[in-house]
Amino acid sequence: MATVLKEPSRTFNEYLLIPGYSSADARPENVSLRTPVVKFRKGEEPALSMNIPLTSAVMQAVSDDNLAVALAKEGGISFIFGSQSIESQAAMVRRAKRVKAGFVPSDSNLRPDATLHDVIELKAEKGHSTIAITEDGTSEGKLLGIVTSRDYRLSRMNLDTKVSEFMTPFDKLIYGKDGITLSEANDIIWDNKLNQLPIVDDNQRLTAFVFRKDYDSHKEHPNELLDADKRYVVGAGINTRDFKERVPALLDAGVDVLTIDSSEGYSEWQAITLKWIRDTYGDTVKVGAGNVVDADGFNFLADCGADFIKIGIGGGSICITREQKGIGRGQASAVLEVAQARDEYYKKTGVYIPICSDGGIVYDYHMTLALAMGADFIMLGRYFARFEESPSRKLMLNGSYVKEYWGEGSSRARNWQRYDLGGDAKLKFEEGVDSYVPYAGLLHDNVQLSLMKVKSTMCNCGVLNIPDFHKNAKLTLVSAVSIVEGGAHDVILKDVSVRGTSDR
Ligand code: MZP
């Protein structure tokens, strides 16, 4: 006979936190959100941790190289989407890894035979006034000079004038040698009163610029997540089909951590993928697996060698899996059960496998609840899709800006590998929708605000770090009636836009 679980499947909305005793030290500035990403033995340090507990979803509308850099600056990790060719995904990883904190690859480049007209057009397109003049017009070509707005006077010059006639040529440039540190580069900038410093290798090829204006912005990101070479940490999604080709290409591009991206991960396909990675690379390659929603799924992937395990089926904002197939579980119930399995596994083996709550975060306080319920970190799609840095189009809809956001199971994404159970290379029915989400501005501003709320609640609960939150959080179920009491009620609101969410 079928097993029927006694507890209903519950969502984050059905819970609240009960405050604990807060000492005078319980202040947001004393809270650490540092959290492990990959498994570690008792008493050892994890090989990879994040400074904030946020990762961005393995989705076309969410995680490209641009968002990966923006999120790593805040201290989290993006998993660059895998539903694209191996070459283009590896190129995204490579681009993100090329961005060394404070060292910016040149995005405005021309050849010396370009004209002043080309300079004006490029400046309008990119919005940057520094243009590198390289032999072949690429961002890595031999540097022949630079053009800034100080080099031309529009009112006096003909638009056909060749760049080579008015650029500041290489022999008049102050430049840095590839390999110098950011602080050495900044010293040269300050000593010579420069606005930017080109960095070149031994063959005079351009590798990056360091900009004076970035000096402060670098200081604005004290949590940035860097590898040993001071490059941003970047993740990528893989599937259980072409992993023998995709994994080596991503590693070659410099990826730091992988995750198997699948709508349902309690499967032999994941076992085969994890085994191949372990047989080929041992423990040097870090890879998460999932998604699961109960202890059985967790234990299976733990025994298969996953470095972290993702939780969530059917709770994503764009997901219609539950409607289409009748499988899934309320995200709160899933996180609570898997967290208990993680703790038991740790007790039994001495190995701590971090768990990630993936999808279904609507309000900022859901992040806090996911952590309180035992998640080590959270994966979000809709949340990040709203930001300037996400790859999707920004449009005006009924007088407000929106961004497009579509599921990996929608026919738009055509990510058949995520849903495939070993059939042919086609999506047989949709498990996701195509939608709009309200545009919300810059990632930095939003993440800061959301995490300030998380830290503030942790202080109310009397905890200063995530492991203590796991141990000490006290949660209560809410009745339907008390949910009404939780919002503003029985008053006439002056401004209906003032609600507890970050996106309304
Ligand atoms: P959310 O943050 O938008 O609520 O959920 C994002 C998560 O939904 C992703 O990380 C992924 O696990 C899941 N997802 C992505 N595409 C689909 C789909 O098309 C989906 N059904 O469920």
- Asked if residue 118 has its Cβ within 6 Å of ligand 1, the reply is no
Return the best residue to mutate from 71, 263, 364 for the ligand 1 pocket (most ligand atoms within 8 A of CB): 263
Return the best residue to mutate from 54, 59, 446 for the ligand 1 pocket (most ligand atoms within 8 A of CB): 59
- Asked if residue 264 has its Cβ within 6 Å of ligand 1, the reply is no
Residue 319 annotated to the active site: yes
DSSP-assigned states of every residue in 419-478: H-SSS-SS--S--B-EEEEE--B-HHHHHHHHHHHHHHHHHHTT-SBHHHHHHH--EEE-
**pLDDT tens digits, one per residue of 466-491:** 999 999 999 999 998 887 888 888 88
Helix %, strand %, coil % for the chain, to 5? 35, 20, 45
Quick one: which H or E segment has residue 321?
Answer: helix 321-325
Can you tell me whether residue 398 is helix, strand or coil? coil
Residue 418 annotated to the active site: yes
Cβ–Cβ < 8 Å for 259, 289: yes
Please identify, by atom number, the ligand 1 atom nearest to the C-alpha of residue 360.
4
- Strand-pair partners of 197: 210
Distance CA 257, CA 269 (A): 19
Q: Is the dihedral of CA 493, 494, 496, 499 positive or negative?
A: negative
- Strand-pair partners of 308: 288
Q: Which two structure tokens, joined as six digits, stand for 176?
A: 């840095």
Nearest to 62 by CA among 390, 318, 380, 360: 390
Return the best residue to mutate from 408, 415, 416, 435 for the ligand 1 pocket (most ligand atoms within 8 A of CB): 408
Distance of CA 437 from the midpoint of ligand 1 (Å): 14
Distance CA 281, CA 18 (A): 45
Distance of CA 380 from the midpoint of ligand 1 (Å): 8
Q: Which two structure tokens, joined as six digits, stand for 309?
A: 């395990």
Distance of CA 381 from the midpoint of ligand 1 (Å): 6
Distance of CA 379 from the midpoint of ligand 1 (Å): 9
Distance CA 130, CA 83 (A): 35
Quick one: which H or E segment has residue 49?
Answer: strand 49-50
- Asked if residue 57 has its Cβ within 6 Å of ligand 1, the reply is yes
Of 319, 356, 459, 461, catalytic: 319
Task: Report the side by side order of strands in the sheet with 176-177.
Answer: 176-177, 196-200, 206-211
- Asked if residue 328 has its Cβ within 6 Å of ligand 1, the reply is no
Local confidence pLDDT in tens for the 504 residues of the chain: 999 999 999 999 999 999 999 999 999 999 999 999 999 999 999 999 999 999 999 999 999 999 999 999 999 999 999 999 999 999 999 999 988 778 888 889 999 999 999 999 999 887 788 999 999 999 999 999 999 999 999 899 999 999 999 999 999 999 999 989 888 999 999 999 999 999 999 999 999 999 987 777 667 789 999 999 889 999 999 999 999 999 999 999 999 999 999 999 999 999 999 999 999 999 999 999 999 999 999 999 999 999 999 999 999 999 999 999 999 999 999 999 999 999 999 999 999 999 999 999 999 999 999 999 999 999 999 999 999 999 999 999 999 999 999 999 998 998 878 887 777 667 778 899 999 999 999 999 999 999 999 999 999 999 999 999 999 999 999 998 887 888 888 888 887 766 554 444
Distance of CA 170 from the midpoint of ligand 1 (Å): 49
**pLDDT tens digits, one per residue of 400-436:** 999 999 999 998 998 878 887 777 667 778 899 999 9
Cβ–Cβ < 8 Å for 109, 167: no
pLDDT of residue 497: 66
